[in-house]
């Protein structure tokens, strides 16, 4: 009986997002090909300045359209493969850092299935372990999309996997649901000779023994810190998707941008595709100001982090977007009446 694991599908196809970091390889490729971002955006049916605006994410549907537009404008029938080849650690956002703190490949796959949603809502990973052979599956949220989407995902996994392992991984059979393109040379260069089409699933198969491979230079001491931070982001994203209200959406956007010190009204409004005035009006109608939501979000995250011994006060200040620990200390005391250190001491003594 196979041992099967799968990541949850969060959000509807129309509500899905793709993080700016995940979009970056596509933008780098079209730039190399001399394609203007305004032209690319317009070709994809977006506002012609959409890609030059600073946003933390774009709609998943827009990303799919950008793949098609990029392929057409750059005259590249293997555009998806070439986007995937440009994947880096930072492409996967927060969960990319978690992967680098995993002890082995099995733990890395497990974290991928849980935190993939923090990078994109394009599809979900699953892992089926069956004795000596393990099957990695990727279930697209856009099954009718052009082949560039799934090919970019698998090319990215292949390139990142080699870098992650610190060596070239052995070739593994790869299966795609779509029909074979006319020219397979790029597929064979990236994946080896065993590339199959018209398959039932998008998947790759490899020896189960690979799951026990250690991650070279992994900083396992950072895993608890990074995982807790990722859980915070995941919780806020799920809350925003379930609630759908403006307050939940703002909280989720704030959580995603705090550590980059970008949780400011103009940037959050841009992320939500609203003008500042419209966002302020919507929040006012809900009975909140932006500053109130920012403070409450920081307070909630701070109290969670302070209950974990793996976070220093400097770590927490950074994750909450404070440039100085003293500013965090001052804000926390205003919120709660006690210093962060005193709050932590009291919590730890109560739970001994």
Domains in the chain (CATH in brackets) are 3-212 (3.90.1520), 221-350 (1.10.10.60)
pTM, two decimals, is 0.71
Structure tokens at 22: 């995940």
Query: For the chain, what percent of residues have pLDDT higher than 90?
Result: 42
b/e map 198-224, b = 16+ CB within 10 Å? eeeebbbbbebebbebebeebeeeebe
The pLDDT mean for the chain works out to 87
More confident residue, 2 or 108: 108
* Cα–Cα distance, 168 to 136 (Å, whole number): 18
Summarize pLDDT for 297-317 with one digit per residue, the tens.
888 888 888 887 777 888 888
Q: Is the pLDDT of residue 283 over 70?
A: yes
Residue 202: partners with Cβ closer than 8 Å, 6 or more residues away: 137, 138, 139, 140, 150, 153, 154, 175, 176, 177
Task: Look at phi and psi of residue 155 and say left if phi exceeds 0, alpha if psi is from -120 to 50, else beta.
Answer: alpha
> Within a 10 A sphere around the Cβ of 49, how many other Cβ atoms?
11
Mean pLDDT computed over 198-214: 94
Residue-wise pLDDT for 36-66, tens only, equals 999 999 999 998 888 887 778 889 999 999 9
What is the predicted pLDDT for the residue at 352?
60
């Amino acid at each position: 009986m196979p041992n099967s694991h799968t990541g949850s599908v969060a959000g509807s196809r129309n509500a899905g997002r793709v993080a700016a970091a995940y979009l970056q390889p596509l933008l780098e490729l079209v730039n190399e090909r001399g394609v203007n971002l305004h032209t690319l955006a317009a070709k994809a049916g977006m506002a012609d300045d959409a890609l030059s605006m600073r946003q933390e994410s774009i709609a998943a549907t827009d990303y799919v359209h950008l793949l098609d537009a990029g392929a057409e404008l750059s005259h590249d029938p293997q555009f998806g493969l070439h986007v995937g080849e440009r994947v880096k650690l930072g492409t996967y956002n927060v969960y990319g850092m978690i992967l680098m703190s995993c002890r082995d490949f099995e733990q890395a796959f497990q974290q991928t299935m849980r935190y993939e949603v923090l990078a994109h809502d394009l599809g979900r990973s699953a892992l089926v372990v069956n004795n000596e052979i393990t099957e990695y599956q990727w279930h697209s949220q856009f099954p009718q999309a052009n082949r560039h989407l799934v090919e970019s995902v698998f090319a990215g996994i292949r390139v990142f996997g080699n870098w992650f392992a610190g060596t070239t991984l052995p070739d593994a059979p790869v299966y795609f649901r779509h029909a074979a393109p006319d020219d397979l040379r790029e597929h064979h260069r990236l994946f080896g000779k065993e590339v199959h089409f018209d398959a039932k699933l998008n998947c790759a198969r490899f020896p189960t023994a690979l799951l026990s491979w250690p991650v070279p230079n992994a900083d396992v001491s950072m895993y608890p810190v990074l995982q807790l931070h990722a859980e915070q982001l995941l919780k806020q994203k799920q809350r925003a998707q379930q609630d759908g209200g403006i307050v939940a959406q703002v909280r989720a956007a704030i959580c995603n941008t705090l550590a980059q010190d970008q949780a400011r009204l103009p940037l959050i409004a841009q992320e939500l595709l609203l003008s500042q005035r419209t966002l302020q009006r919507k929040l006012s109608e809900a009975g909140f100001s932006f500053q109130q939501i920012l403070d409450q979000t920081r307070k909630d995250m701070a109290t969670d982090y302070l209950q974990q011994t793996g976070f220093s006060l400097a770590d927490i200040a950074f994750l909450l977007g404070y440039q100085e620990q003293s500013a965090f200390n001052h804000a926390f005391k205003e919120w709660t009446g006690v210093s962060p250190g005193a709050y932590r001491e009291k919590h730890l003594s109560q739970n001994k």
